[in-house]
Amino acid sequence: MQAALSFAFIDNAIGKFDKSMLSHQTLMELFIFGFDSVELICGSRDDPWELSRWKGVACNSEGDVELFIWEHYRSKGSVELQFLPSSMQVLRMEGNSLSGTLDLANMPEQMQRLSLNWNNLTGSIDLTGLPMCLQELVISSNGFTGSVSLTQLPNRLQNLDLNANRLSGPICLTSLPPGLRYINLSSNRFDGSVDLTRLPKSLREVFLLENDFSGTIDCNHLPDDISTIYVSHNCFGGTVRVPSGLKKTVEGLVVEHV
């Protein structure tokens, strides 16, 4: 495994890594280079198997890598998204011990699903430059900090899970993607008011519990097909009118059914 290759194809003029110069085999070797479970994935660190034999890897008929799943192995290492082949569509590495920061801007443009929950990732996260093809982003149960913007998410995004981090600051729910079905912002440190009057019609489940949100909630304009809204363990007050049959926890509010 040639770690030195990670420095060999950088355009010094712009400081950008040129993946087109490397094979998918080499890129994937660079991606897993820092993992402590390399031998389980590719047989040997010094003489890795041919890519099609790697555990957790799936390629298309042309040999391009489209999927890598490595879940619940408690593997240590960092997530270097810049080394993923441009054809990668699915990366699932939940339930490991991955650490370091996460630069989501380095995701391949064809990425559809990224799941890195239950790891030890830290630092801030930027959600403003995600791939347009992205449908699912699950990075819950890590140690991410700082504020996040939800106003420039990809239109195709259906599932966003930021649960159980240390994210903070106000959030805007009025410019969510039109096809979003599930959003979980629970167990963070978000604060400020919450506007539920312009949620996308596609939305089915909203989880906002265990934050520092305050003020009142207007539930008169919820999507027709929404089934679940959890907002307990915040600092809300006042009276809220909630449609009958809706699964909810609205602790701290007076609830009237309509």
Question: In the CATH scheme, what architecture does the domain 61-257 have?
Answer: Alpha-Beta Horseshoe (3.80)
Q: How far apart are CA 71 and CA 56, in angstroms?
A: 9
Taking residues 186-193, report their average pLDDT: 98
Question: pLDDT value at position 18?
Answer: 77
- Which regions of 112-211 does DSSP assign to beta strands (E)? 113-115, 120-123, 136-138, 143-146, 159-161, 166-169, 182-184, 189-192, 205-207
Taking residues 145-171, report their average pLDDT: 99
Q: Does pTM surpass 0.75?
A: yes
Question: Do the Cβ atoms of 73 and 51 come closer than 8 Å?
Answer: no
Question: pLDDT value at position 5?
Answer: 47
Q: How far apart are CA 213 and CA 193, in angstroms?
A: 6
Cα-trace Rg, the chain: 21
Q: How far apart are CA 43 and CA 131, in angstroms?
A: 32
